[in-house]
Amino acid sequence: MALSTHTTPSGFVLPSIHAAKPFFTQQPNSATQKTVSDNWTRLILSYARHRKLFTLRVEDATDDKSEWDEVLRNPRIQRRLRPSHLAAILSSMVAANQAMYEPPNQTSSVLLFWRSPEEWAQVLYDWANSTGHLNTIMTFYEIVEPPVPSPLEGLPLPILRKAISVLTKSARAQVIAVADGEGVRFLPGAPGR
């Protein structure tokens, strides 16, 4: 089978390397394995962004009903990424700050940073500014579960906290204790700081 791109049912275009059998196998040569892992990382982050997915678990490699199945498996060449290979890829993503283990103290589930915490911080601040929420205290829940569509809808709280931390360090946000838990006040500041 010639290596070619393929469009999944969700509309994501898989790169031609996804049609290569060795792509689904851990490579004994460390330099080759690094290249394979780097390609998997790009693929995982691109797919996560396309589908707005935040969580990837090692068990997704064996679950035919997983929202990751169309990427972690290629039935055209009868290949599937093995859980041990996915675990190694996730470990390298965490080491490169492209993911974080969630919940902490385990190594089988990650939150993916298809946007860096700094990029999420800018998205968050731009959203607060464009929706008139500067100098307003908002709960974390109001941010991730807004009444109208938002780029922050469904954002996991650990990623939101990282974005708010970036804004806090640049004096564009202040974390506030509120009755319902945690809140944040967005402060006027220079955009893109």
User: Considering Cα of 109, then 114, then 119, then 123, what sign does the dihedral take?
Assistant: negative
- What span, in angstroms and rounded, lies between the C-alpha atoms of 131 and 143? 11
Lookup: tokens for 2: 């010639």
Q: Which residues pair with 7 in a beta bridge?
A: 13
Mean pLDDT calculated for residue range 61-70:
95
User: Can you give the pLDDT at residue 181?
Assistant: 78
Domain ranges of the chain: 6-112, 117-186
Tell me the pLDDT tens digit for each residue of 2-33: 678 999 999 999 999 999 999 999 999 999 99
Q: Mean pLDDT over all residues of the chain?
A: 93
- The answer on pLDDT for 192 being more than 90 is no
Q: What is the pLDDT of residue 1?
A: 53
- pLDDT (mean) for 127-145: 92
pLDDT of residue 147: 84
Same fold, 6-112 and 117-186: yes
pLDDT on residue 191: 53
- The domain made up of 117-186 has a fold known as Arc Repressor Mutant, subunit A (1.10.10)
pLDDT at residue number 190:
59
Candidates 3.40.50.1000, 1.10.10.570, 3.40.640.10, 2.60.40.10; correct CATH number of 6-112? 1.10.10.570
Bin 44: left if φ > 0, else alpha if -120 < ψ < 50, else beta.
alpha
Residue type, 165: S
Higher pLDDT: 110 or 190? It is 110
